[in-house]
Amino acid sequence: ALSIAMETDDKAVILGEDVKFGGVFRCTLGLVDKFGNDRVFNTPLTEQGIVGFATGMCSVGHTAIAEIQFADYIHPAFDQIVNEASKMRYRSGSQFECGGLTIRTPYGVVGHGGFYHSQSPEATYCQPGVKVVIPRGPVQAKGLLLSCIRDKNPCIFFEPKILYRSAVEEVPEGDYMVPLGKAEVLREGTDVTLIGWGSQLKILEAACDLAAQEGYSCELIDLQTLYPYDIDTLEASVKKTGRVIIGHEAAVTGGWGAELSAKIQERCFEHLEAPIKRICGYDIPPSPLVFEKIHIPDTLKNLAAIKETVDF
């Protein structure tokens, strides 16, 4: 996706810590040889500086693809993202904008990341003026990333880092895009709606398989774009099933599941047959290394939630 974006847009640049050498996860490997030092370049170790520099480049017409090496370290750039990039078009009356900005950053658990390489801070950045996107696999990653890069709004593209090593799919070679702001129904069902994003979809899918063996019919939805999210698809599903479970790795308090729960309650109150459930990480600093398997919602926790919700 990055190579296609650079080939089709001569104003596109890639910047970040160690991107010339491919980055920690080798996502930019070989791009400096293909496009040169002026378009693929390393930055100092300053997240605020990376996003600030990228925002400035976009304000004068460039397409900037900035990499934050781990999402755990994106917070020093919070001011640049939320007070500058997200508000530039609005505060200037559309005289200036930085719609060409895309921030890539790996997030989530991998089994051994500990406190500072395992966090899921996506809810913090779901702010007006910024689009937040998370793919569940390689096919979606390519299409959604190209959509983010070409969208005329600042985008944050959270990449589930566990997919770098564990995901294998046949990805189309050509140029294609997956629409932003549109959820995907992965499995249709009648008893309960399960909503998730990123690597959590694998866990939810496994829970649906186990539930099916016991006679429960689950509808599974990949949100894909967290902000602005596809409430219409969620609403239609919940009104059909009458029950909903939301799963994510981030802590339950302040997680994006809280926003979805509130909106679904507003839209679907008279159709709900059971309380909305959130199966999420515990309210402790993520992730407690050897206790990660306890901390993160797994297949069996979601299976138990399916049974409890349907049998309510």
Phi/psi of residue 194, each to 5°?
Answer: -110, 130
| Inter-residue contact 127 to 158 (CB < 8 Å) | no
Please say if 47 is a catalytic residue: yes
| 3-class SS string, 91-112 | HCCCCCCCCCEEEEEEECCCCC
| 3-class SS string, the chain | CHHHHHHHCCCEEEEECCHHHCCCCCCCCCHHHHHCCCCEEECCCCHHHHHHHHHHHHHCCCEEEEECCCHHHCHHHHHHHHHHHCCHHHHCCCCCCCCCEEEEEEECCCCCCCHHHCCCCHHHHCCCCCEEECCCCHHHHHHHHHHHHHCCCCEEEEEECCHHHHCCCCCCCCCCCCCCCCCEEEECCCCEEEEECCCHHHHHHHHHHHHHHCCCCEEEEECCEEECCCHHHHHHHHHHHCCEEEEEEEECCCCHHHHHHHHHHHHHHHHCCCCCEEEEECCCCCCCHHHHHHHCCCHHHHHHHHHHHHCC
What lies within 8 Å, CB to CB, of 30 at 6+ separation is 22
Please say if 75 is a catalytic residue: no
Residue from 17, 62, 97, 117 carrying the catalytic annotation:
117
- 160 strand-pairing partners: 107
> Whose CA is closest to 312, among 285, 284, 272?
272
Residue from 47, 159, 205, 219 carrying the catalytic annotation:
47
**Catalytic residues, which ones?**
47, 117
